[in-house]
Amino acid sequence: MARRGHRPSQTQGNRPRFWGRHAVTAALANPERVVRKMWGTREALASLDLPSSLPVVFAEAPDLGRLVPGDAPHQGLVAEVDPLEEIWLGDLLAQGDGDRRPLIVLDQVTDPHNVGAIMRSAAAFDALGIVTQDRHAPPESGVLARSASGALEVVPWVRVVNLARALDEIGEAGFWRIGLTGHASATLSEQLGETRPAIVLGAEGEGMRQNTEAHCDQLARLPISGKVESLNVSNAAAIALYAVAARG
C-alpha cells in the first residue's frame, strides 16, 4: 500500500553545524544521526567518548566562535552533521497505534527558535511527534538544535507537502484534530475529553490558515486573560501538551 504524507526527498544544502553541549552530545548519542566532524576545546572534548573514526579538530574558544553565528553559546563544542533521514507520516502514525500520545501539527511555523522550543516540550510531555509543512518550516540547523536542547534527536519530525491531506490521514488514524485559535468559543480542556489529540497550531501572528482550520475536528482556545492578545506559539504548545498530560 502506498504511504502518504511523506516528506519529499530533497537536500537541505550544506550540512548543518550544531553547537552547545546538549545539541552536540544528543547528536552523538543518536544512532540515526551521522556526525561528520567535530571541533572543540581540549577541555570540552576530554569529557566525550568519541569514536576513533570521527575527525576531531582541537580549537580555542575564539576559533570556535568563527564557526557559528555571532555570539552563539558553543560551550566549546561544534559538530558538522548530516540531516536525519526522512520519516513517513504513515510510519509515525503506526508507531502511536494503541496509545494516546498526542501529535503536534504546525501550520507554517517558520521560526527555528519556536520549532526547537516546541520539540523540547514535545519531548518533555512524550508527544508522538511533530508534523510540519515541507516548504514552510525551518530546516535542521544549529539554532533549531540549540533551542531544542537535544530533543531534535528524539522527537520524530515529519515534513509533508500538503498539510490538509496530512490532517486527513491523521484523522483517519484515529486522532481528534484540535486547532488552537483565540476566536474559538470552547477551551482546550473542554474539547479534550478522552480523545487521542492532534494539536494544530498556526504561524506566529497570523494563526492557522482557513483551510487548516477546516480540516480540524474542533477549534479550541487557551483560557488566557485579556491582558495579552495571544501567546507565543511555543508557549501555547507547551501549555497544550501539559493540558493533555494532566487530564490523567
What mean pLDDT comes out for the span 76-90?
94
What mean pLDDT comes out for the span 77-102?
93
Query: Residue length, the chain?
Result: 248
Average the pLDDT over each of 11-20, 56-65, 144-153, 178-187 and give the range with the smallest value.
Answer: 11-20
What mean pLDDT comes out for the span 66-81?
90
- Per-residue pLDDT band for 13 (boundaries 50, 70, 90) equals low
Biggest CA-to-CA distance, the chain = 59
Residue 1 scores a pLDDT above 80: no
- Per-residue pLDDT band for 2 (boundaries 50, 70, 90) equals very low
- Per-residue pLDDT band for 207 (boundaries 50, 70, 90) equals confident
Please state, in angstroms and rounded to a whole number, the distance separating the CA atoms of residues 118 and 130.
9
- Relative to beta strand 218-220, strand 176-180 is parallel
DSSP 8-state assignment for residue 182? T
Residue 78 scores a pLDDT above 60: yes
- Res 11: pLDDT: 46
What mean pLDDT comes out for the span 179-206?
90
- Per-residue pLDDT band for 231 (boundaries 50, 70, 90) equals confident
- Per-residue pLDDT band for 239 (boundaries 50, 70, 90) equals very high
What mean pLDDT comes out for the span 119-148?
95
Instruction: Evaluate whether 134 touches 5 at the Cβ level (below 8 Å).
Output: no
Instruction: Evaluate whether 8 touches 135 at the Cβ level (below 8 Å).
Output: no
- Per-residue pLDDT band for 182 (boundaries 50, 70, 90) equals confident
- Per-residue pLDDT band for 9 (boundaries 50, 70, 90) equals very low
- Res 77: pLDDT: 95
Residue 76 scores a pLDDT above 90: yes
Task: Give percent above pLDDT 90 in the chain.
Answer: 74
- Res 248: pLDDT: 63
